[in-house]
Amino acid sequence: MHLDHELDEMFPERHTHSAAVPKRPDGTRRALRIGLGGPVGTGKTATVAALCRALRDELSIAVVTNDIYTREDAEFLLREAVLPAERIQAVETGACPHTAIRDDISANLEAVEDLEEAVGPLDLILVESGGDNLTATFSKGLVDFQIFVIDVAGGDDIPRKGGPGVTSADLLVINKTDLAPYVGVDLEGMARDAKAQRGELPVAFTALKKENGVKPVSDWVRTKLADWTAGPA
């Protein structure tokens, strides 16, 4: 048996609920955490809502929102009733949403810990960032995978411009494809640019307004979750 302080030296992050440790303090495999980031207005909250609706019957889900200066995103999810209120936690970010998901993740880790405590054990925790810029990414201490959401209305040159979100996110979602004809966007060109920036990393085109529009994303989440659950407990 290990003494407590020996464990501390081996795994100093074991008290932090950091994503670096795949287990809960009790040793069971913890919930998969997926971050959703991306610029303002691209459909992050709508994607979270759609994912919850698609997956809530098969999985135990909770959501952490990081709002810029209100609890609006959390309140949207509550109004839409995609999950019971006790499964949604809002983190206040002091006007710096990227700080809360990348540089100082302590408030988000606290929200994760509180959700596990209140409604756990959970299978999946979605952490939604506040709308930010193209450079915002999640800390690996907070999430296991990240989805970056952009939309066609933001211009078809976004994938070409790159930036950490576009190039390195585990899944790039290009939303609002139904608007492409109206904003004069070449979807194939966007796909080519994304491929050039991302190599083998996947890209999902979505039109959330359409029936089952979130399917490419929910399928990806299911695959990741299956891999995660198969990992060592």
Contact positions vs another protein (CB under 8 A): 4-5, 8-9, 12-13, 15-18, 68-70, 91-96, 99-100, 103-107, 109-110
To another protein, the closest distance from the beta carbon of 137 in angstroms equals 16
- Please say whether the dihedral angle defined by the alpha carbons of residues 97, 100, 101 and 107, taken in this order, is positive or negative: negative
To another protein, the closest distance from the beta carbon of 126 in angstroms equals 20
To another protein, the closest distance from the beta carbon of 232 in angstroms equals 23
CB nearer to another protein: pick between 102 and 224 = 102
To another protein, the closest distance from the beta carbon of 213 in angstroms equals 31
CB–CB of 136/98 below 8 Å?
yes
Residue that is written with structure tokens 């995978």 in the block: 145
CB nearer to another protein: pick between 75 and 170 = 75
CB nearer to another protein: pick between 6 and 157 = 6
To another protein, the closest distance from the beta carbon of 129 in angstroms equals 14
CB nearer to another protein: pick between 113 and 178 = 113
To another protein, the closest distance from the beta carbon of 135 in angstroms equals 17
- Give the integer Cα–Cα distance in Å for 49 and 97: 20
- C-alpha closest to that of 101 among 56, 35, 156: 35
Q: Is 117 exposed, middle or buried, given 0-12, 13-18 or 19+ CB atoms closer than 10 A?
A: exposed
Q: CA 80 from chain center: how many Å?
A: 19
- C-alpha closest to that of 73 among 41, 113, 105, 115: 41
Q: What crossing angle do the helices spanning 215-230 and 44-55 adopt, rounded to 10°?
A: 60
CB nearer to another protein: pick between 111 and 174 = 111
Alpha carbons within 13 A on the beta-carbon side of 15:
7
CB nearer to another protein: pick between 2 and 161 = 2
Altogether, the residues listed in the chain come to a count of 233
